[in-house]
Amino acid sequence: MTSNDADAVKAPESTSLTIEVGDRVGRVSAIFERPHTARALFVLAHGAGAGMRHPFLQAVAEGLGECGLATLRYQFPYMEARRPRPDPPGVLVATVRAAVRCAAELAPQLPLLAGGKSLGARMTSTAQALAPLPGVRGLIFLGFPLHPPGRPDITRAAHLDAVSVPMLFLQGTRDDFAELDLLQPVCSRLGARADLRLIAGADHSFGVLKRSGRTVADVLTELLDTIANWAGR
């Protein structure tokens, strides 16, 4: 077997598809990436200002594939329609549910994880709090948006008390959407269900300052290793 043949065998399967959300919403686009040795499937939602093809989410999906985790990235309807403002929470939650259903159909033998970046994280946890997402064993938050910048509050965390599955919070220490003196007590209140992992020097987008001595690649590696190890539990 040549090196090219080996690469072809190891390359993850990548499929573009559409997800039916409902009569009032219609369909949204999605990307399913599955490594041949997948051990779980992460249903991954985007943040408020960038869709599923954002370089950060793409890098996360590709990196998780190398760690043996399949991903299903999907658009929220407003992003699909290129509207500037997010949809009402009810529409966002319905989209999360539709994506989880789709994931279960695509890979019924794989354990499911769900979550996302910022808005995607909060809407996934909201969906889970309202009614458990079928088959989902844990939630992963890439920058949970606890409050708007400069307006510290924990109101957005109230629904987390109703989430019974394990939750992984990946949070930058410079994230102005989640002051740590507020987020840490929230996670403590949630007890063993919440695992807070702080990413040193990272902001809400997981960017780092040059003077920190860290690179974006360093942060991405830390995120991927943490997710993969946590999912393995």
Q: What average pLDDT is seen over the chain?
A: 94
pLDDT digits over 105-157, tens only?
999 999 999 999 999 999 999 999 999 999 999 999 999 999 999 999 999 99
More confident residue, 203 or 12: 203
- Would you list the domain boundaries of the chain? 3-232
Confidence of residue 190 (pLDDT cuts 50, 70, 90): very high
* Phi/psi at 53 (5° precision): -95, 5
In a 3-state reduction of DSSP, which class is residue 145? coil
Cα of first residue to Cα of last residue in the chain, in angstroms, is 35
Specify burial of residue 60 (Cβ count, 10 A radius: 0-12, 13-18, 19+): buried
The CATH class for the domain spanning 3-232 reads alpha beta
Which pLDDT score is estimated for 10?
57
Distance (Å, rounded) from C-alpha 146 to C-alpha 39? 30
pLDDT band at 24 (very low <50, low <70, confident <90, very high): confident
Distance of CA 41 to the CA centre of its chain: 11
